[in-house]
Amino acid sequence: MKEYRNILAYALVNLGDVVLVTGALALLKRAYPEAKITLMVKPAVQEAVLNNPVIDEVMIFGYKAKEKSWRQTIKMLKEIRRRHFDLAISFDRKLRPALLAWLAKIPTRVGPSKVFGQNDSRVTLLYTDVAQINYDLDKHLQRETYQDIVRHITGQTESAMPVMAQTEAINRKRAQKLKAKVGVASKYIMLCVKGTFVLKTWPKEYFAELAKRLSERYRAAFLIVGAPGDKDYADEVMTAIKNEVGEEVGIVNLCGQTALSDLTALAEITDLFVTVDTGAAHVAATVGRPMVVVYGCTHPDRWHPANDNAIVLTTDEPCSPCSYRAEECLSAPRPNCLYNLTPDAVFTACQKLLG
């Protein structure tokens, strides 16, 4: 195995994928414990990798694929050249970072033959070494696909779990304050109710029915988490829950109020997390707490969270997984993958975890 001392990895992808990539970086750290590992990410996800034990430094590269952004790109090229990396690893197969690694003359540049879609790409011509991914991506865990890129370099055969930074006292204190907003309850349940696109989002009336049953059975209170842009939708879900359970139900909308470190701290002190397939699911999975994940157009064969205490639910529709837009869905306006996954099925899964 060739020795490397200064490694650049890049994953200019969304939050959930970046969390899964940390498992691959953990493998890389085992193989090269003396090497400095730098990870390049988009600005929106930097909090997921700051102070991470498997990452020595973070580089932020903000650009939009359809914009030229030449000034930012040239500035980043100069920075990469200055650092004299001896290995570059692509976890995204994107053109711009691969071109930067090539222009910077990093001597070894490794990337996958495929990582998201099934199609070939000329981007691989910029790599000195291509990690061949020969299986059906939809039937293989994405976190293992990322780790296969590292295994190609190192010859390792083992796996590693994704890694988040340890929660600190300030995050735990903030999480306790957020939890206290819903008052006293027998069970505290986090909800993430909105996916990054419509066909990931379980119906709000189903969340309301589930909350009613959990409230009646467990005297539960609910903390809705998500990104700032999810707040209005979460308010609608909160209203639906109050209409089902009553105004006295303990519920709070925390969308936009939790940094990622706060989210992991909150997951540590709640009894259950019920979530759609989104980045928050992969963040919370790293603390190993009980969780139920509902899938629509995506499938757990590929996107199962790295958590032995997770129950994943899908109706395995013939068209799943799919990449349709909501208006193209064959069963719109009530997509089968979402509406056939009933509150009863999700409540049964919650019971298994709550007792």
pLDDT per residue, tens digit, the chain (355 aa), is 789 999 999 999 999 999 999 999 999 999 999 999 999 999 999 999 999 999 999 999 987 766 667 888 899 999 999 999 999 999 999 999 999 999 999 999 999 999 998 888 999 999 999 999 999 999 999 999 999 999 999 999 999 999 999 899 999 999 999 999 999 999 999 999 999 999 999 999 999 999 999 999 999 999 999 999 999 999 999 999 999 999 999 999 999 999 999 999 999 999 999 999 999 999 999 999 999 999 999 999 999 999 999 999 999 999 999 989 999 999 999 999 999 999 999 999 999 999 8
Residue 72 and residue 15: Cα distance in Å, rounded? Answer: 22
The pLDDT score that the predictor gives to residue 67 is 62
Answer yes or no: are the C-beta atoms of 167 and 258 closer than 8 Å: no
Residue 236 and residue 251: Cα distance in Å, rounded? Answer: 12
DSSP state of 217: H
Span 294-346, pLDDT tens digits: 999 999 999 999 999 999 999 999 999 998 999 999 999 999 999 999 999 99
Query: CA angle, corner 135, sides to 107 and 198, nearest 5?
Result: 100
- CATH fold match for the domains 6-154 and 169-354: yes
Architecture of domain 6-154: 3-Layer(aba) Sandwich (3.40)
The answer as to CATH 3.40.50.2000 being correct for domain 169-354 is: yes
**pTM of the complete model beyond 0.85:** yes
DSSP state of 81: H
Q: Locate the domains of the chain by residue range.
A: 6-154, 169-354
